[in-house]
Each structure stands twice: as C-alpha cells, then as structure tokens.
Amino acid sequence: MTEQRYLPPAELEAELRKIRDQQRELREAIRAGEEVLVRLDGVIKLLDSASKWGWWDVLGGGFFVTMAKYNRLDKAKVQALKAQEACHVFARELRDVKFNLKLNIDFDGFLRFADYFFDGLFSDIATQSRISSMRNDVRRQRSEVEGIIGMLRWRLAQAEAEAQKLSP
C-alpha cells in the first residue's frame, strides 16, 4: 500500500492544477501526433499507388502510365507538405517534452524530367528506386511518431494516476 503524503489544501490544489495542466498538454500532443500519422498514412498510400504504376512503366507502360505515376507522386507531395505542417504543430506541442522531430521528404525534380523525356528502362528503374526510398523514409518517420505517441500515452497514464492519488 502506497503511503499518501499530507499536503495543506492550498498546496494540494496547486499540485492538482499542475498535473491537470500537464494532462491537457499531453492530450494535445497526442492529438497532434495522431494527425501526423493520418497525413503520413496518406503519403504512404499514394507512394504505394505510384509504385504500382511505376512497375507498369518499367515493363514498358509508356507516356500515359508515366503520367499516371507522376499524378500519384504529385498528390503524395501535396500530402507530404500537409504532413510537414502537422509535424510542425506536433513539434510545437512537444517542446516541453524535448523531442526533436524532422520530417523531410524530398521529391527530386530531375528524376521527373529524365523519366518524361528519356523514358526508358534505366530512368524508370531509377524512379522506382526513388519511390521505394521515399516510402521507406515515410514509414520510418511514421514509426518514430508512433513511438513518441506511445511515450506520451504512458506519461499521461502516470499523470492520471498521480492526480487520482492526490484527489480527495
């Protein structure tokens, strides 16, 4: 059985207020992190689609297949920008927790130029490799965000237990 320490009512109220503020900040950070996950999932889905079109392109799909592939990549880029915005919000919410998040997804313009104008096996394979690399980077970022959210949830549970222990 845990020994409950005695605090004067004013100190007890101040301690509870501090814990509740911490709980609120943790919940806000968790919500912001969950928004990052939603955005990253969107990027992954679009990169998966681009990859499927890319394999058709490698097999000789031609100009229209190349256009379909880049349509998915363009949408993935827009979604990645939204993920970066969500990540900035998440990082802002985590300042007190001292986590450093960097979401950097680079879409190389040269590969697009090479793929449209030198449409051939080597440029298609290079583009497929780049899509795969981007997809792996986004999945790694997603995993990192999931880990941080898990840590936040653990800290929230601790704060809730502490508040319950102090509550009359």
The pLDDT tens digits for 122-143 are: 666 777 788 788 888 889 889 9
Q: Which residue numbers in the chain have pLDDT < 50?
A: 1-2, 110-111, 113-114, 117-118
Two tokens, residue 162: 């502490």
Q: Report which of 133, 53, 141, 52 is spatially closest to residue 90, judged by C-alpha positions.
A: 141
The domain segmentation of the chain, as residue ranges, is 18-159
Helices (H) and strands (E) in the chain, counts: 4, 0
Predicted local distance difference test score (pLDDT) of residue 75: 87
Predicted local distance difference test score (pLDDT) of residue 28: 94
User: What is the average pLDDT value for the chain, to the nearest integer?
Assistant: 79
0.85 surpassed by pTM: no
Sign of the torsion formed by the C-alpha atoms of 127, 134, 39 and 82: negative
Predicted local distance difference test score (pLDDT) of residue 100: 65
Predicted local distance difference test score (pLDDT) of residue 104: 57
